[in-house]
A and B are shown apart, each in its own frame.
Chain A
């Protein structure tokens, strides 16, 4: 009973501390002032454009007539959502994210597990695996565009030489093939990020856990299932969340490979938005698409965090 007193008093003191109104002075003021420049930067370069975009999405903001800009309520959103392109763009965006993510995770995990063990030339192998991540998305698109080319592309050439096809396949001239092609290019690009993140998590698993598992008679597969995967799960969950956001907002590869074509069959929200700006010169509708993207990602993030109960990052 006596020993509980100090604890109670400490708790009361802590509660009183919490109730104190927050005042900026001395140390706090100093920290705030040091942070102020960064805050100003974030406000000017992140929040201002974001708010401007939201405001624009409710205006008839077209380059054709800048002298007559007015608020038009939800008209831009209605135009975007009711346009004949919208269902296909939404479906494409879904496939683009899900297929890219699934295979990036699968191959990234496999490569990370392979690279975990020491072997001759591991450094060179890792450099090759991580290399795509250092390239620009637009450049990757251009490279894959040539690789998938019907006349001169290396992919058609290989398929012809191995006798798998009789005539070249015009990959980028067919809607289904084109979607598959851009997803393949994106998988090649994104595998590296998963591999890097998972490898970092793998290297932090204490060796004793495996020794203990081995002593309990666990085989290789069981060790993977019961030790490795649970340990790297938080990292994987956070990486998946990041990648969903990035992939949905990543028009580079599609834009340089297909421009969203043929016949709009590879358009995702991000490329659709670019098209509205460049050809349509309609900043209002483009902003509305931007707001729709943000809302989708916000909903997804809330749902995802609740479903997976990820409250803090993994082993970064």
Chain B
């Protein structure tokens, strides 16, 4: 009786230990993959762990295909892909890095590259890119994204996310309108196309999560070439972009666009809603990334919509933040050469172009501009914009400032308060101007 008691106690303890051990089993001890024939290990297989950030089922599928090709070319290397859900993927990656979890290759975003490099999480790739024959195949924008932290390549971009104007060609034709080239033309067209009785609105406004980004686009377009492209919350003379009368005009315009040409509840719309309303035929215009193209193709009739370059401001230019996520390597990887091999494989011009086409992003290699696929159709607007770098200026946000996170957590609230007439444009700009002036002054 006593024995059975003790036995059950020991068993329950062992079982729970087993559970804990099971929970924490990592990829460090993958099951030994026996080579064909099964006569023991011919050569030790190295398993790389890789994590993606901009996860979607289609993209994960494509990455698995590419990784299978890589494994076939490199029999001694296996790749274990982790695909956290898109919402919260960056938090997950940060946690993995903080815990020094087994990880070799990771997807770095332009907004966390500085944070990762500062904390010593990611490897400086310069020793590798110096010897890489395809480095000069990257477009100028892609190179700027790769080296934008301390002018050092910390990751190799896998695709560019830049915005264009999506518009309903059929509605424009019906109303006898031309595609807008400027913000003023866009507002005029949007007002003309707005008909609440028909549930039609001119513009897919984004007032919800990260809505501040769209307010910034208009401010930049109004301030023009005075804006410092390297840190676009500041002007070239060192003042903040929020200190100018042009920004005040831009905010007045922005509110008009919301009040007169957008649905009232768009004050809380995020990415999903603004895209959803455009593809479902409730809004006439949308400014978004190329990854919207696939969804629009799927849900909208061919010939009812098209893309055009971003509208330019009164200054004659339109700034844009070109997002360029890419593949980086952890600083603590035990298999750095193999990890670079994988990054090199994924960044090869042919692979990279295939990847860009299948994920609807803008390619990072120069040779893609000559590809017929990008010369016509929905992607033409992106290539046209990149060919006019003086008009469509690539700028960076000050994500390398300590106060970026805190500002970002209140910026949406501030913009919404302004749109809902709770604060004035002057007060909003004053608040942001003071904040960023202080940030600049405190920065060593």
Taking beta carbons and an 8 Å cutoff, which residues of A are in contact with B?
30, 33-34, 36-38, 40-41, 44, 62-67, 85, 149-152, 167, 170-175, 178, 258-259, 261-264, 275-282
The answer to whether A263 and B417 touch across the interface, beta carbons within 8 angstroms, is yes
Is B420 among interface residues, defined by CB-CB distance under 8 A? yes
The answer to whether B413 and A278 touch across the interface, beta carbons within 8 angstroms, is no
Q: Mark B183-216, 1 if CB is under 8 A from A, else 0.
A: 0000000000000100100000001110000000
Q: What is the chain A residue whose CB lies nearest that of B114? A: A64
The answer to whether B9 and A34 touch across the interface, beta carbons within 8 angstroms, is yes
Q: What is the chain B residue whose CB lies nearest that of A148? A: B265
The answer to whether A259 and B422 touch across the interface, beta carbons within 8 angstroms, is no
Q: Given A151-B265, A262-B207: A64 and B404 within 8 A (CB)?
A: yes
Pairs across A and B, CB under 8 Å, 16 listed: A36-B13, A64-B118, A65-B118, A67-B119, A85-B410, A151-B265, A170-B267, A172-B265, A173-B265, A259-B209, A262-B267, A263-B417, A263-B422, A264-B417, A277-B91, A280-B408
Is B406 among interface residues, defined by CB-CB distance under 8 A? yes
Q: How far is the CA of A278 from the CA of B416 in the complex (A)?
A: 19
Q: What 7 pairs between A and B have smallest CB-CB spacing?
A: A170-B264, A37-B16, A280-B409, A279-B409, A263-B416, A281-B405, A263-B417
Is chain B's binding surface mostly helix, strand, loop or mixed? helix
The answer to whether A63 and B265 touch across the interface, beta carbons within 8 angstroms, is no
The answer to whether B405 and A261 touch across the interface, beta carbons within 8 angstroms, is no
Residues on A with beta carbons closer than 8 Å to the beta carbon of B88: 278
Is B434 among interface residues, defined by CB-CB distance under 8 A? no
The answer to whether B416 and A276 touch across the interface, beta carbons within 8 angstroms, is no
Q: A149-B265, A150-B264, A278-B88 are in contact. List 6 more A-B contacts (CB 8 A).
A: A64-B118, A66-B98, A151-B263, A263-B420, A264-B417, A282-B405
Minimum CB–CB distance for B139 against chain A, Å:
29
The answer to whether B413 and A261 touch across the interface, beta carbons within 8 angstroms, is yes
Residues on B with beta carbons closer than 8 Å to the beta carbon of A67: 118-120
Q: Given A30-B5, A259-B268, A264-B413: A63 and B405 within 8 A (CB)?
A: yes
Is B132 among interface residues, defined by CB-CB distance under 8 A? no
Q: Given A64-B405, A262-B267, A263-B422: A34 and B12 within 8 A (CB)?
A: yes
The answer to whether B91 and A278 touch across the interface, beta carbons within 8 angstroms, is yes
Residues on A with beta carbons closer than 8 Å to the beta carbon of B115: 63-64, 281
Max chain A CB contacts within 10 Å: which of B6, B263, B264?
B264
Q: How far is the CA of A263 from the CA of B12 in the complex (A)?
A: 52
Max chain A CB contacts within 10 Å: which of B16, B17, B282?
B16
Task: Return the contact of B8 from the options A34, A172, A264, A278 (Cβ within 8 A).
Answer: A34
Q: How far is the CA of A44 from the CA of B412 in the complex (A)?
A: 37
The answer to whether B199 and A37 touch across the interface, beta carbons within 8 angstroms, is no
Within 8 A of A (CB), among B406-435: 406, 408-410, 412-414, 416-417, 420, 422
Residues on B with beta carbons closer than 8 Å to the beta carbon of A172: 265, 268
Minimum CB–CB distance for A268 against chain B, Å:
14
Q: Given A37-B16, A66-B119: A173 and B264 within 8 A (CB)?
A: yes
The answer to whether A280 and B405 touch across the interface, beta carbons within 8 angstroms, is yes
The answer to whether B413 and A65 touch across the interface, beta carbons within 8 angstroms, is no
The answer to whether A41 and B264 touch across the interface, beta carbons within 8 angstroms, is no
Q: How far is the CA of A85 from the CA of B417 in the complex (A)?
A: 12
Is B152 among interface residues, defined by CB-CB distance under 8 A? no
Task: Return the contact of B208 from the options A36, A151, A261, A275 (Cβ within 8 A).
Answer: A261
Is B177 among interface residues, defined by CB-CB distance under 8 A? no
Is B72 among interface residues, defined by CB-CB distance under 8 A? no
Interface size on B, residues (CB 8 A): 46
Minimum CB–CB distance for A253 against chain B, Å:
15
The answer to whether B16 and A40 touch across the interface, beta carbons within 8 angstroms, is yes
Q: How far is the CA of A149 from the CA of B282 in the complex (A)?
A: 13
Is B391 among interface residues, defined by CB-CB distance under 8 A? no
Q: How far is the CA of A178 from the CA of B408 in the complex (A)?
A: 22
Minimum CB–CB distance for A272 against chain B, Å:
9
The answer to whether B6 and A173 touch across the interface, beta carbons within 8 angstroms, is no
Q: How far is the CA of A53 from the CA of B17 in the complex (A)?
A: 25
Max chain B CB contacts within 10 Å: which of A40, A44, A278?
A278
The answer to whether A62 and B405 touch across the interface, beta carbons within 8 angstroms, is yes
The answer to whether A275 and B6 touch across the interface, beta carbons within 8 angstroms, is no
Q: What is the chain A residue whose CB lies nearest that of B267? A: A173
Residues on A with beta carbons closer than 8 Å to the beta carbon of B412: 261
Is B84 among interface residues, defined by CB-CB distance under 8 A? no
Residues on A with beta carbons closer than 8 Å to the beta carbon of B17: 37
Residues on A with beta carbons closer than 8 Å to the beta carbon of B83: none
Residues on B with beta carbons closer than 8 Å to the beta carbon of A264: 413, 416-417
Q: How far is the CA of A227 from the CA of B404 in the complex (A)?
A: 61
Task: Return the contact of A30 from the options B6, B406, B422 (Cβ within 8 A).
Answer: B6
Q: Mark B7-39, 1 if CB is under 8 A from A, else 0.
A: 011101101110010000000000000000000
Q: How far is the CA of A146 from the CA of B207 in the complex (A)?
A: 17
Task: Return the contact of B406 from the options A34, A174, A280 (Cβ within 8 A).
Answer: A280
Q: Given A33-B13, A278-B91: A258 and B119 within 8 A (CB)?
A: no
The answer to whether A151 and B199 touch across the interface, beta carbons within 8 angstroms, is yes
Q: How far is the CA of A294 from the CA of B37 in the complex (A)?
A: 60
Q: Mark B377-418, 1 if CB is under 8 A from A, else 0.
A: 000000000000000000000000010111011101110110
Max chain A CB contacts within 10 Å: which of B263, B405, B417?
B405
Q: How far is the CA of A309 from the CA of B264 in the complex (A)?
A: 49
Q: How far is the CA of A67 from the CA of B118 in the complex (A)?
A: 8
Q: How far is the CA of A258 from the CA of B208 in the complex (A)?
A: 9
Q: Given A30-B9, A151-B282, A259-B208: A64 and B265 within 8 A (CB)?
A: no
Minimum CB–CB distance for A98 against chain B, Å:
24
Residues on A with beta carbons closer than 8 Å to the beta carbon of B267: 170, 173, 261-262
The answer to whether B12 and A262 touch across the interface, beta carbons within 8 angstroms, is no
Q: What is the chain A residue whose CB lies nearest that of B405? A: A281
The answer to whether B420 and A262 touch across the interface, beta carbons within 8 angstroms, is yes
Q: How far is the CA of A34 from the CA of B285 in the complex (A)?
A: 65
Minimum CB–CB distance for B77 against chain A, Å:
30
Residues on B with beta carbons closer than 8 Å to the beta carbon of A258: 268
The answer to whether A262 and B416 touch across the interface, beta carbons within 8 angstroms, is yes
Task: Return the contact of A262 from the options B20, B268, B402, B409 (Cβ within 8 A).
Answer: B268
Is B270 among interface residues, defined by CB-CB distance under 8 A? yes
Residues on B with beta carbons closer than 8 Å to the beta carbon of A178: 268
Residues on A with beta carbons closer than 8 Å to the beta carbon of B244: none
Q: What is the chain B residue whose CB lies nearest that of A66? A: B119
